[in-house]
A = this chain, B = another copy of it.
Amino acid sequence: MTRPLSVALAGLGTVGGGVLDMLQKNADIVAARAGRPIAITAVSARDRNRDRGLSLDGLRWFDDPVALAHDPAIDVIVEVIGGSDGPARRLVEAALAAGKPVVTANKALLAVHGAELAALSEKHNVTLAFEAAVAGGIPVIKALREGLAGNRISRVAGILNGTCNYILTVMRERGREFADVLADAQKLGYAEADPAFDIDGIDAAHKLAILAALAFGRPVAFDAVHVEGIRHISAVDIAFATELGYRIKLLGIARQTEAGIAARVHPCMVPQASPIARVDGVFNAVVAEGDFVGRVMLEGRGAGAGPTASAVVADLIDIARGRATPVWGAGSGALSSVPSVGMEAHLGAYYLRLMVVDRPGVIADVTAALRDEGVSMGSMLQRGRSPGEAVPVVIVTHETRESAMRRAIARITELETVLETPAMIRIEAA
């Protein structure tokens, strides 16, 4: 065997610890698969003296992660600092410019600065690998970029945020409200102290932007992703979803339409019988639809030390073996320039729940607003009668243009007998 691949690890949080652990525990397997041993030889983190429960014996310490990029004894950089800017970005840029391959788990960095990083990677002919950035240990980057590479992909969709999926699963199983379940998830470590990034859909949108770029062979376009989170999902809507034969999931969906690529992250009602509806708890899943392969689904743990380390180590093995792929699947000159299309052009069915005063004429006003905006109703559900009091009314539309739906909702919201902002959830065939 040749000499070990010498790896520098920048970031010693959960993921960094997992990578150290895996390379030690599975050193035999890794060396067999990589054709040579892979060893962490240098580390960098913010605080040298913090007790992380990790042995750093024999590893060189760097206070400045960017200095790793210039150390001649280091072959590859693993960046697990996180964040779209700051030291993570500086390190990755410096490493690529210095001709050192980089493995990163940083979805924000890839989603926001992926175009420039791909250019750097191409210019210096050096690998930038990021399997760990999307869906943890599920090899979905490899599947899209290599395994399904010959297909014209029409749609890629997934449950991309385990925190949201966990919260929605517990809300449904226990009939509890969002805020309660979030608080519990924070105590259990399934949600961050500042959960906005997860529950507002930003994290899922970063991952979707990456998947869409790979699926459609075009530069990453995070700003074009429509993003909504799960804060406004209430127990009553989850109960209605069950009654109607649906599950509510936060999905990221990118689709090739006639006008261009539509990419969106928002809560969806998906049929209970669809495979993705059954992916519960902290699990992630990605579905890709190709013209030759048909529908392929990959499912597994989307986060945590072990699954993320699994993806980072797979990337290191690829680098050790000399297996390389352009960042977005094709060289810059061969990427597609298909445009993005906005959410107002979305066409689909909608679930609408209103809280209305239970009195004659209310439904007539609501249905008139829908009719005036050209929204065709599929069905209506009304539960319980309490004359003069607030009752929920659920409407499911036929296929409708988003722009028409928004106008209709604005009109309905103005009705005096409609007591809250209507709850709107898009229905997805999944």
Verify if A325 is at the interface (C-beta below 8 Å from B).
yes
Verify if A139 is at the interface (C-beta below 8 Å from B).
yes
Q: Which of A185-193, A226-234, A313-321 contacts B (4 or more CB under 8 A)?
A: A313-321
With a cutoff of 8 Å between Cβ atoms, the chain B residues found around residue A313 in the complex are 149-150, 292
CA distance A35 to B152 in the complex (A): 16
With a cutoff of 8 Å between Cβ atoms, the chain B residues found around residue A294 in the complex are 137, 300-301, 306-307
Tell whether, in the assembled complex, residue A148 and residue B152 are in contact, meaning their CB atoms are under 8 Å apart. Answer: no
With a cutoff of 8 Å between Cβ atoms, the chain B residues found around residue A18 in the complex are 292
- Nearest B residue to A313 via CB reads B150
With a cutoff of 8 Å between Cβ atoms, the chain B residues found around residue A291 in the complex are 25-26, 306
Tell whether, in the assembled complex, residue A296 and residue B293 are in contact, meaning their CB atoms are under 8 Å apart. Answer: no
With a cutoff of 8 Å between Cβ atoms, the chain B residues found around residue A330 in the complex are 32-33, 35
Tell whether, in the assembled complex, residue A317 and residue B146 are in contact, meaning their CB atoms are under 8 Å apart. Answer: yes
Verify if A143 is at the interface (C-beta below 8 Å from B).
yes
Verify if A43 is at the interface (C-beta below 8 Å from B).
no
A-B contact pairs, 26 of them (CB 8 A): A26-B150, A26-B151, A30-B149, A32-B329, A33-B330, A35-B330, A35-B334, A136-B293, A137-B294, A138-B296, A139-B142, A143-B143, A143-B147, A147-B311, A148-B310, A150-B310, A150-B314, A150-B317, A151-B310, A293-B300, A293-B310, A294-B300, A294-B306, A295-B300, A299-B299, A321-B325
Tell whether, in the assembled complex, residue A217 and residue B32 are in contact, meaning their CB atoms are under 8 Å apart. Answer: yes
With a cutoff of 8 Å between Cβ atoms, the chain B residues found around residue A259 in the complex are none
A162 to chain B, nearest CB (A): 12
Take A142-B139, A142-B143, A323-B325 as given contacts and tell me if A150 and B22 are in contact as well, using a CB distance cutoff of 8 Å.
Answer: yes
CA distance A331 to B151 in the complex (A): 31
Each complex incorporates copies of this chain amounting to 2
CA distance A291 to B316 in the complex (A): 18
Take A292-B306, A300-B296 as given contacts and tell me if A142 and B152 are in contact as well, using a CB distance cutoff of 8 Å.
Answer: no
Verify if A356 is at the interface (C-beta below 8 Å from B).
no
Q: Which chain A residues numbered 282 to 338 have a C-beta less than 8 Å away from chain B?
A: 290-301, 306-307, 309-311, 313-314, 316-318, 321-326, 329-331, 334-336
- Nearest B residue to A304 via CB reads B294
Residues of A within 8 A of B (CB): 18, 22-23, 25-26, 29-35, 131, 136-139, 142-143, 145-152, 217, 275, 278, 290-301, 306-307, 309-311, 313-314, 316-318, 321-326, 329-331, 334-336
- Nearest B residue to A140 via CB reads B147
With a cutoff of 8 Å between Cβ atoms, the chain B residues found around residue A152 in the complex are 25-26, 29
CA distance A297 to B326 in the complex (A): 26
A379 to chain B, nearest CB (A): 27
A207 to chain B, nearest CB (A): 17
CA distance A35 to B35 in the complex (A): 26
With a cutoff of 8 Å between Cβ atoms, the chain B residues found around residue A148 in the complex are 137, 139, 310, 314
CA distance A306 to B34 in the complex (A): 32
Given contact pairs A143-B143, A148-B314, A149-B317, enumerate 5 new A-B contacts (beta carbons under 8 Å).
A29-B150, A32-B331, A137-B290, A143-B147, A150-B313
With a cutoff of 8 Å between Cβ atoms, the chain B residues found around residue A131 in the complex are 147
With a cutoff of 8 Å between Cβ atoms, the chain B residues found around residue A326 in the complex are 35
The 10 residue pairs across chains A and B that have the minimum distance between CB atoms: A139-B147, A150-B313, A137-B293, A32-B334, A296-B300, A32-B330, A293-B310, A292-B306, A33-B149, A323-B323
